Structure 1
């Protein structure tokens, strides 16, 4: 199932009317997206060039235009692609958890693990606010919606409080984003497991003394 989602995401990444029709084309598109992630992550949007992306991907310059109309187009596609990669990485861990607190712990733990291997995601998403504000907003809105939906489902099961799921979803997402930045990008001196344990305790019991 995850493989099917990944393939679908790769197909939808191309500019309108330019989706690859063969396995070779899908591999080329994947190589371009992966190279673009490194180039944008290292150089930023303005200093990244299409030729730099294709050199890193090991494909001809013309191959880029087979799938993308412009640098802006591949950047927008990359924001969506990285969002999908995070979703596909963390979702199996969340679904395997026995209850919602454990699910949120698993989500944070797997997110930090993902970030440690894909630190460029922070620079790319941050730049999206200025390069393509719609993609920036969609990235966070879609993520928050997923969290809100699982909180609503957990509330229906009697596992968590049922009021204000949208507010709680944005709060959880905000924690995860900055914890990923601090313990995934800026340093890894503290284990992801210990960070996730602290937040699981916070979600279960709050911060007030008992």
Structure 2
């Protein structure tokens, strides 16, 4: 983003361009999308685009970072309202599934980034992992979680969220069914083995 002081109108225009880019990148893909596609759909002049972004790559980068920030904020806010690790994780996963339902393009946009910019792709997941790691470390310290490697646990939890969300939100275009949510929580907190840990 260019370092300019934006007016209220300018901020709205910039956000409109970003929202439009989210839809088009999600539908057509990064490589098939042009700046003209974005400006025409957003109803702004091409010159207006360059008041806020320098290139197609710059708006793509900003979009991934904005989506990441918004998602992490929603999850963090939901988790802060709870006290136990169990309740925090449930609230965080619910917030994640609810958020992606209204931002379905997130999946295709982020997955494209592995081809567009591998560092951005890694950054996206590492930022999410950092929140999980901190949560797991706190839970271990408070005796609410087994003393497992926090990073390993974080990526396992992220995998569950990523693919359950993909299965229902992306492929079926619907909210994650409550029964599926509860099954996922069962796997997270109690595993799948019938044998008791001794």
Q: Confirm or deny that 1:82 pairs with 2:67.
A: yes
Q: 1:109 aligns with which of 82, 94, 104?
A: 94
Distance 1:29 1:140 in 2: 25
Q: 1:24 aligns with which of 1, 4, 9?
A: 9
8 Å Cα contact 1:109/1:193 also seen in 2: no
TM-score, normalised relative to structure 2: 0.91
Aligned to 2:191: 206
Q: After TM superposition, give the deviation of residue 98 of structure 1 in Å.
A: 3.4
Aligned to 2:112: 127
Distance 1:198 1:59 in 2: 46
Distance 1:49 1:145 in 2: 33
Q: Confirm or deny that 1:64 pairs with 2:49.
A: yes
1:1-210 equivalence runs, <5 A: 14-15=1-2, 17=3, 19-187=4-172, 191-209=176-194, 210=196
8 Å Cα contact 1:101/1:200 also seen in 2: no
Where 1:186 maps in the other structure, the secondary structure is helix
Distance 2:177 2:11 in 1: 33
**More displaced 10-residue stretch of structure 1: 48-57 or 118-127:** 48-57
Residue 190 to residue 42, structure 1, CA distance change in 2 (3 Å)? closer
8 Å Cα contact 2:61/2:120 also seen in 1: yes
Distance 1:189 1:144 in 2: 25
Aligned residues: 195
Superposition CA RMSD, Å: 1.7
TM-score, normalised relative to structure 1: 0.86
Q: After TM superposition, give the deviation of residue 189 of structure 1 in Å.
A: 6.6
Contiguous gaps of at least 5 residues in structure 2: none
